[in-house]
Structure 1
């Protein structure tokens, strides 16, 4: 009779701490990396474009660092950030109250979702977030902190768009021998609102397409999609 093999003392190799950390934060890291790449591309191409415009009007080209201080750069950055944060803030808030039957982007219909549970009734452990354990006004702020942060980022971006846009607008005014305007006057102009609305409309169109398309279309493996074999009328995760 064959004897069972002895345990040779081998052990499963544990993943390196750094590798595990990267795996745990892969989605965030890749998005931050893509942001850095595209932001760098925007800075370089924006500086080149701005320099070309300057030379066309008899001015001198500018370096990349100098370009970062121009209204052209500030307006271009925050005009886009403004629309992104508005979209996300509105989406977070709207999905609290509104539903879309069959969409993976909606909470389930006809039953309570885990997100609706009152944290005051939850069983607390050492892993429970500190604001929940603390309670009171701190918990009140914490349970709306996601939409609050996005709203603050929108307002900050909206303000910087106005400031940078005013600087860029006044530069254009001076090049044509016209008077400068204040930030409030610029914000009352059709140009400021055109810059805002042209971005806002595209953001909400993209959300509408995602919400509607996720009823009938699938992406296997993505949490933004329902399971491939799930019926169209099933709503939420």
Structure 2
């Protein structure tokens, strides 16, 4: 068990932190929502009812949406674009790696990597496909949760008739929520790409070795 935890420490810490923070988000969000309901003279939601509310679903998935968009785009763009001096970039003169094609596959290579045709193409692009697919799923759930939250809020404030998800998709409210997250994600990645040209972090694979020049590009 200790050996397994050592080999998987990075993902265990990341997913552990995720669980802690999403539980805390749900608890604090539950209190915020109930304070709002009380102000309008409505009964407070139970914790489990809150987890199914538009307030919680919208808050969670508008953030997941931006994260998966940023990561999926980053994986895909780094396959084609370079940044001189950044360890986040491939070499300036590097074309496709021979190891990305079935001719270089060995007996221990994953099964799809040893194939030709559609299976190989899909596997060679599976990381960006998965991340952008998760973005699409999160986008749709954000839209549905946002619609529910919008309708709940309108009912509290004015008793207005509910709107459909298609209608909410055309509102400034929905796109404001998305853009405020999208812009921050791309800013953060852009800062990482540029700052890693000049700055170092000893021991991190996200950083160039400390002694490497600013012009050194790639790992």
* Residues 105 and 113 in structure 2, CA contact (< 8 A), matched pair in contact too: no
Structure 1 counterpart of 2:187 = 205
Residue 43 of structure 1 is matched in structure 2 by 26
Q: 1:225 pairs with 207, 210, 217, which one?
A: 207
Deviation (angstroms), 1:134: 3.3
How many residues in Structure 1 have an aligned counterpart in Structure 2?
218
Query: Does the CA-based 8 Å contact 2:102-2:115 persist in structure 1?
Result: no
Show the 5 A alignment for 1:30-179.
30-112=13-95, 114=97, 117-125=99-107, 127-175=108-156, 176-179=158-161
CA distance in 2, matches of 1:123, 1:46: 50
Change (3 A) 1:236 1:92: same
CA contact 1:107–1:113 (8 Å) conserved in 2: no
CA contact (8 A) 1:220 1:227 kept: yes
Write out the 4+ residue segments of structure 1 that deviate beyond 3 Å after TM superposition.
111-114
Moved more, 168-177 or 212-221: 168-177
C-alpha offsets along residues 124-147 of structure 1, whole Å, 9 cap, x if unaligned?
21x110111233211111010000
The gaps in structure 1 that reach 5 residues or longer are: 1-17
Larger radius of gyration: 1
Call closer, same or farther: CA 1:194–1:162 in 2, change over 3 Å.
Answer: same
* TM-superposed deviation, 1:178: 1.7
Cα distance, 1:93–1:177 mapped onto 2, change above 3 Å: same
TM superposition shift of 1:50: 0.6
Instruction: Report the CA distance between 1:179 and its aligned residue.
Output: 2.0
RMSD: 1.2
Q: SS at the partner of 2:79?
A: helix
Q: TM-score by structure 2 length? A: 0.96
Runs of 5+ unmatched residues, structure 2: none
In 1, Cα distance between equivalents of 2:147 and 2:195: 39
Preserved contact between residue 99 and residue 105 of structure 2 (Cα < 8 Å): no
- Distance in 2 between residues matched to 1:192 and 1:112, nearest whole Å: 40
